[in-house]
Amino acid sequence: MQKAIFCTVSLIWCTENPGTWNMTLLYFIHLLDLTISSLQYNAPYRTDPMALKTHSSTDDFDPLTYRPHGRVTFTVEGDVLICDAVGPFNKELIAAIETVEMGPLLELKSRGKWGEIIIISGSALGSTDTLVAFTAYLKKLVAEQFMADVTALVMDNQVEGGTLMTPHLIKAYKDAGIELTIFDTVNEARVWVKLHL
């Protein structure tokens, strides 16, 4: 409503001040672009809903005590959840993951079969407490039937502590009853996940 009033006032003002048409025209084009984008985003029917991406991140989590170390960004790409994890990690991050990941998990579960690709970069290091909390979180997901049908982990040899932490991550998933397949590149993981869905 405020935009409509502003536009009407701008048009009246421009007719009295002809030299201002260029600026007003640019504003109208911007406003029209925003309106169309808003309509497309809120449209009840989308031509290809599986092509849409949604994002959430542990950076959005507001802790009561200590700030999480590390960051995980969750992106839903059709029937695949991409988890971009940048370490090192602490146990407070697991609480953040538990809160932030629930939205994407609910979305994917409602669609049926889905896969997950976890990409670790920066550092894979985490304390024993972090691994214990992460294993407990994975077990909870399994118990509540929120686990992916296929899970891939991508961690190249440039990741700090990758060689040290890989066996611990495999054990965490195995203890939770989840089969984890490891890849060197994201493209390999994407192909594998798509083949198994």
pLDDT tens string 109-138: 998 899 999 999 999 999 999 999 999 999
Percent of the chain at pLDDT exceeding 70:
66
Give me the chain's average pLDDT, please: 77
Q: Distance between CA atoms of 81 and 148, rounded to whole angstroms? A: 9
Percent of the chain at pLDDT exceeding 90:
62
Report pLDDT for 69: 76
Q: Distance between CA atoms of 160 and 139, rounded to whole angstroms? A: 26
E strands present in the chain = 53-57, 71-77, 80-86, 115-121, 150-154, 180-183
pLDDT at residue 181 greater than cutoff 60 = yes
Q: Distance between CA atoms of 151 and 117, rounded to whole angstroms? A: 6
For residues 159 and 9, the model is more confident at 159
Phi and psi at residue 27, to the nearest 5°: -65, -45
pLDDT tens string 51-105: 445 555 555 545 555 567 799 999 999 999 999 999 999 999 999 999 899 999 9
